[in-house]
Amino acid sequence: MKKSMCFFVALIVLFTFIGITEAGAEKITAFCGSASKPATEEAAGVFQKKTGIAVELHFSGSGTMLSQMKLSKRGDVYMPGSPDYMTKAVRDGVVDKGTVKIIAYLVPAIDVQKGNPGNIRTLSDLARPGVRVGIGNPNAVCVGLYAVEILERNGLLSEVRENIVTHAPSCSSTAALLVMKKVDAVIGWRVFSEWRPDKIEAVFLKEDEVPRLAYIPAAVSHYSRNKEKAGRFIDFLTSSEGQKIYAGWGYIAGEGEARKYAPKAKIGGEYRLPADYN
Band (pLDDT 50/70/90 cuts) for residue 241 is very high
The predicted structure's pLDDT at residue 6: 40
At residue 187, the 3 state secondary structure works out as strand
CATH code of the domain made up of 25-103+215-262 = 3.40.190.10
pLDDT band at 84 (very low <50, low <70, confident <90, very high): very high
pTM for this model (two decimals): 0.87
Q: Which residues contact 49 (CB under 8 A, 6 or more apart)?
A: none
3-class DSSP state for residue 91? helix
Q: Decide if 25-103+215-262 and 106-212 have a common fold.
A: yes
Q: Specify the CATH number of the domain 106-212.
A: 3.40.190.10
- pLDDT band for position 276 (cuts 50, 70, 90): confident
Task: Give the full edge-to-edge strand order of the sheet including 200-203.
Answer: 164-168, 133-136, 185-189, 108-113, 200-203
Report domain extents, the chain.
25-103+215-262, 106-212
